[in-house]
Amino acid sequence: MQPGVFVPTAAALGPFCRDCLSRARSLPRLSLSGLHRQMSRWNTRDSSSPLPSQDNPRILITGGLGQLGTGLAQILRKHYGKDNVILSDIKKPQPDVVESGPFLYADVLDYKHLRELIVNNRITWLVHYSALLSAVGEANVALARKINITGLHNVLDLALENCLRLFVPSTIGAFGPSSPRDPAPDLCVQRPRTIYGVSKVHGELMGEYLHHKYGLDFRCLRYPGVISVNTPPGGGTTDYAVQIFHDALSTGHHECYLRPDTRLPMMHISDCHRATIEFMQAPDCQLSLRTYNIAAMSFTPEEVAEEIRKHLPHLKVTYNPDSVRQTIADSWPVRFDDTNARRDWGWAPDYTLEELVSDMLRSIREKRTNEGLPDS
């Protein structure tokens, strides 16, 4: 926490963060000097409207222009209203993103500005997607450390200060070569060997610590590789499983940077979004953990290629393993054990490998047709 951080009173904020508040008062160097400033900002925005509740949240998504943010925002806006879900990023959004709902510039390394966004927009839920992924992070460790760890600490502090429900995704990359691989349980030795994985384990543990010590409503899901159409690959080790579909329909040839037998957990983006929303909506009393694995399927490059060939028999795949990405993949689990998520809050995936492949090919064909591009 930074000096001068304040903790609003439960009477002022309503019923949704009393436990968080009662514990947060024990934090060092806190004062209530900023309370009236914060409440006046809220009241000047719309003094006639009630403060947001957890049943009708005001949601901020950081790193919203990556693979997951825009799709999650679209679904959340259907649940809670267009104006109650704010996308943010440091990049310029496309016109369709701006037209679809509120978008704000937000740098997670700028603590003061991020604090102003949270206060002025009366945010109650924060989805923190800002991160440098595994392969990109290994190429720029210093930047990954700043974004993935310093940015995380800013978000943790602000979530605690403002009694937010905070979702921070973790990843398959949070496991390492000494972890159980088939399957990997929720609780086990992790010890990853990438800065991405180290930062994710750090986030899991910091969130759990702040939950148990101060009542922060921290929630975390370990995502497998996420497969989607609308956003290009962003530097992750599982990106081949997105690129192979585009290559199959554009050139008929895909060069894979992993060995053909490299098995990894994967998930359709629709299942990923649904898991995130169901988890955020779950009553706190149902959660026995703060970080859960979620699983859908596991496959190898050769297995997904064979499934694609049922639709596009001409697909050719060559293998040219990249030493960095292959080493990362070899340290990760081949399957997730998500028993606890299924038991505690009813998680179950919808998409099998066959359904995923059919949906990806259909969606990419539609996108290419709309852009005037031919299929191979």
Q: Are 269 and 225 in contact (CB under 8 A)?
A: no
d(CA 93, CA 228): 19
Q: Are 196 and 144 in contact (CB under 8 A)?
A: yes
| Other residues' Cβ atoms within 10 Å of the Cβ of residue 112 | 8
- Answer yes or no: 257 catalytic: no
From the list 80, 111, 129, 196, the catalytic residue is 196
- The residues near 147 (Cβ < 8 Å, ≥ 6 apart) are 108, 109, 130, 131, 132
| Alpha helices per DSSP H over the chain | 10-13, 18-24, 35-45, 69-80, 95-100, 111-120, 134-139, 141-145, 151-161, 195-214, 240-250, 269-281, 301-309, 323-330, 339-345, 353-370
d(CA 106, CA 74): 19
**Phi and psi based region of residue 14 (left: phi greater than 0; alpha: psi -120 to 50; beta: remaining):** left
Q: Are 132 and 152 in contact (CB under 8 A)?
A: no
Beta bridge partners of 316: 253
Q: Determine the number of helices (DSSP H) and then strands (DSSP E) in the chain.
A: 16, 13
Q: Which of 266, 259, 265, 334 is nearest to 302 (CA)?
A: 259
> What are the C-alpha distances in Å from 246 to residues 2, 63, 224, 252, 272?
46, 24, 20, 9, 20
Decide the pairing of beta strands 253-256 and 297-299.
unpaired
Q: Are 109 and 115 in contact (CB under 8 A)?
A: no
Report residue 6 CA to chain centroid gap: 28
d(CA 123, CA 146): 24
User: Annotated catalytic sites, by residue?
Assistant: 196
